[in-house]
Amino acid sequence: MKAISSILVFLMMFLTTTTSIAQSSTSYCTKYNDFAQLRNDKASINGDCLQHANETSTSIIVLDTTFIDSQSDYKYYLKFANLHNKEGKNYKVKGTDGRMTSVASTQCGLVFNHNGRDYWTVTALCSNTNLYDEAVDVRSMTIELSKVVNGQTTIVEAVKLYKEVNLDDSYNYLCVQIDGQEIKVMAGKNSLKEIINHKMTPEELGINNGCDHVKVGYIVGPGAEISIERAVLTKPSMSKSSDGHPVNTQWTREALDSHFQASKNPYEGYWVYLDRDMEDTWLKLGGRYTIALVETANGYDLIYIDGAQVKKSQWLPGMKKGEMTKTIFTDNFTGKWIDSTFELIDEDVYAVFESGVILTFKFPVYKSQIRFSKVLDIQ
């Protein structure tokens, strides 16, 4: 039995691109989508976010319990904010001697390739050139790639960003990708842009010798308070349909929002599940989906946003759910649909716009159809 399903992008909150310059030869599939393995007795869930304040003078590291093969490639990213990142404000911390002191510049970020002793970090730290003179003051964010070996921290590379990221206590994306012998670091406020590409030395590659697995997590520096909206760990896995059709895309919700705001095409935008007429012995609905339609040269791509129930941990928002290709008839298209098992359904599939606000996907071979309605008011 086939199962029609969509693809769920972002809701990854354990230890969850958009236009990314980095193009890896490795395909990735996300497997985890909750904060359960990232919990810490000092951290808390506030709404949809995991928050952790550090009131001490030493950094705090929280590792996910998931093991990663130390020789495998993977990608890990956070959508996070440092809530203690206001200009000119100091934050109280307690030293190891019990005395209180204050920290003006706080930092936090992600941890990766942690083997129980040695590890790597990517952290974000904001600073001003002249806080008390607005005429010459420039605020920036420094992204640092560092390694910790035998307790000694070495900054491998640092990059200053000025406009590509939020410089206050708002959310940013921070991503690290292990691709063979390379460490790729990406960051941005609405999308991921590659800012560091570090080729590991033989000595750095040897850090994990003798370790079968490593872990990822987050780091909270003294005085910082991290708020994680999404945390995604992806490992090499299925990223294509059964016939080799790619399902990963570079779209995020923020990038789609921006794209649709500038679009003049009335069909581009978000569409939500309306109803279905299905022969359940042939097809089974995998969820009540929200999808995005993005115009292409030949029609539209269908991008999954939300609503999957079948295999929802394997489908992430931003993955391709299907395609629509123009025909000679107005508002009529041939279609392709990728079901919840990544099987491509393209046998006599059709898509039709009705009255500009209804999209019907028809599967006549399976005596079924599913309809979506256009979201007219994007919040």
- Asked if 123 contacts 109 with a C-beta cutoff of 8 angstroms, the reply is yes
As given in the structure block, the two tokens for residue 279 are: 């022969």
Given a cut of 90, whether residue 302 has pLDDT beyond it is: yes
Q: What is the pLDDT of residue 13?
A: 30
**Fold type of domain 32-236:** Jelly Rolls (2.60.120)
- The rounded distance, in Å, linking the Cα atoms of 17 and 23 is 11
**Which range scores top for mean pLDDT: 231-235, 278-282, 291-295?**
291-295
pLDDT band at 46 (very low <50, low <70, confident <90, very high): confident
Q: 35-43 contacts: CB < 8 A, separation 24 or more? A: 35/228, 35/231, 37/64, 37/65, 37/66, 38/13, 38/14, 38/62, 38/64, 38/217, 38/218, 38/228, 38/231
Sequence-separated (6 or more) residues with CB below 8 Å from residue 156: 145, 146, 147, 198
Domain coordinates of the chain in residue numbers?
A: 32-236, 253-374
- Asked if 21 contacts 193 with a C-beta cutoff of 8 angstroms, the reply is yes
Q: What is the pLDDT of residue 285?
A: 79
Residue pLDDT, tens place only, 114-123: 999 999 999 9
Please state whether beta strands 358-363 and 107-114 pair in parallel, antiparallel, or not at all (unpaired): unpaired
pTM of the entire predicted model: 0.57
Residue 353's nearest CA partner among 378, 317, 326 is 326
- Please state, for a pLDDT cut of 90, what percent of the chain lies above it: 55
| CATH number, domain 253-374, options 1.10.150.120, 2.40.50.140, 2.40.30.10, 2.40.128.520 | 2.40.128.520
Given a cut of 80, whether residue 231 has pLDDT beyond it is: yes
Q: What are phi and psi of 250, to 5 degrees?
A: -105, 10
- Please state, for a pLDDT cut of 70, what percent of the chain lies above it: 84
Q: What is the pLDDT of residue 186?
A: 95
CA angle (106 as vertex; 102, 112 as ends), nearest 5: 135
